[in-house]
Structure 1
């Protein structure tokens, strides 16, 4: 595994891969790697000749300065994981390499509609930072494939839209959310949870599944009542709810019984930790 920290060195390696007609797979991360990241790396190996993992804690996508400061950074441990997985290149630039000037004055990429609803409404500017850094990584690495998890479902749709509308010759490949045995989705932010919160956190996915069962059984009728009862169950367990609702899984428009492909998106607080999760479902005829 080669660790590259500068854009200049990265360019040289990418050009050599292109001359050799190697297929490049990119797994973008912010580090603090877990089982979900490893699954993406294994998938990248199946599709690519060269696997590149990026680690960059992107300040542009944090809507809260404190959240950026406390975000878990485990670079040495991450390097050990990546060496074990035998990736080809770790691109780990310093912040000054990616943003030589202020992030506030930096050129950005915006996906207007999808970036300003649901999670984007709760975290203004978050997706602007995501699409900007992903666009930069795509320009720098020129991958044939890029790999993402479905836990950040809105982010996944935004990146797919970015690729389509800006004509990037890149195939986006996603995998279902990787979970612990109790159903809790793997996340770098799980480390913020204390022992009691960690035990409670799995209740979120249980409620999501229960809600879907009721919505499907009722063919979408009494949706507001069902969602309200699910929220009450979460609140009784100690969750503070930001987002918990049913959306069109293809457009993220609000639920309509005319649409059969749907998803529950959830963003909640448990103590000082923000958890997100989702599950797709088909509404029967």
Structure 2
């Protein structure tokens, strides 16, 4: 296993691998790795000859400095897990200065409105930070494919839009959400929950399953009111937003239309820990 801290050394290694006709895959992460990340790595290994995992807690995508400070950093454990997964993996662990230089700031992006709803509405500047770091990683590593989880579905669509806008020759691969036994979507933030909170947080996925069931017969307005009522009565979870949106545009639904696909999105707090989840909805009418 090779661990790269300097982008020049990684670039040289990638160039050599490409000269041998190897397909390069990238799994961008912020560390604190769990089975969800490893499922992305597994898919990348199936589709690529050489897989690179970047581990970098990106400061420009945090609108809350306290959230950046509290974000778990477990590099030694991350490397151990990745070595178990495949000892031939490459790991890229740059410093902020290595990627950003002296000016650690985000570029400004126009993602055609994808960045203005849901997470973008509640986390100021978040997707400018995401776009900046993803673009820089793509420019440094020049992968053929990059793998992103559908748990952060809005991010996935924004990365796809980034490719459309920049023309970078990277295929974006969306990977299914991996869940804990109780249905909670796997996330690094789950480690900040105690046992009781972790079990209570399964309510998010249970709600989404019921939403999928209701979507076949009930209006979007009915479902919106139902979800808000469910969370209002919950003793532990506090709803930040619930939306049913068009899969492609992420625009909030007014009424179902044939030929369109939809997903339901939830962001909620368990104490101070913010969790997100989503589910694809049955669109048969």
TM-score, length of structure 2 as denominator length: 0.95
Question: Which piece of structure 1 moves more, 19-28 or 254-263?
Answer: 254-263
- Distance between the aligned counterparts of 1:242 and 1:79, measured in 2? 34
- Distance between the aligned counterparts of 2:139 and 2:111, measured in 1? 17
Q: Give the corresponding residue for 2:246.
A: 248
Q: Give the corresponding residue for 2:83.
A: 83
Unaligned runs of 5+ in 2: none
Alignment length, in residue pairs?
281
Alpha-carbon deviation of 1:108? 4.8
Q: Give the corresponding residue for 2:223.
A: 226
Q: Give the corresponding residue for 1:207.
A: 207
Alpha-carbon deviation of 1:282? 2.5
> 1:110, 1:131 within 8 Å by CA — same for their partners in 2?
no
Alpha-carbon deviation of 1:189? 0.3
Alpha-carbon deviation of 1:116? 1.7
Q: Give the corresponding residue for 1:68.
A: 68
Deviations 1:163-185 (A, max 9, x none): 12211211111111000111000
* Residue 145 in structure 1 maps to residue 142 in structure 2: no
Runs of 4+ in 1 over 6 A off after TM superposition: none
Unaligned runs of 5+ in 1: none
> 1:116, 1:124 within 8 Å by CA — same for their partners in 2?
no
Alpha-carbon deviation of 1:110? 4.3
- Distance between the aligned counterparts of 2:82 and 2:272, measured in 1? 30
Q: CA RMSD in A?
A: 1.4
- Distance between the aligned counterparts of 1:116 and 1:245, measured in 2? 13
Deviations 1:100-149 (A, max 9, x none): 22323x54544241112221010011011001100000000100010011
- Distance between the aligned counterparts of 1:41 and 1:107, measured in 2? 28
- Distance between the aligned counterparts of 1:107 and 1:245, measured in 2? 28
Give secondary structure in 2 for the equivalent of 1:183: coil
* Residue 95 in structure 1 maps to residue 92 in structure 2: no
* Residue 56 in structure 1 maps to residue 56 in structure 2: yes
- Counterparts of residues 1-285 of structure 1 (less than 5 Å): 1-86=1-86, 87-104=88-105, 107-218=107-218, 221=219, 223-237=220-234, 238-255=236-253, 256-259=255-258, 260-285=260-285
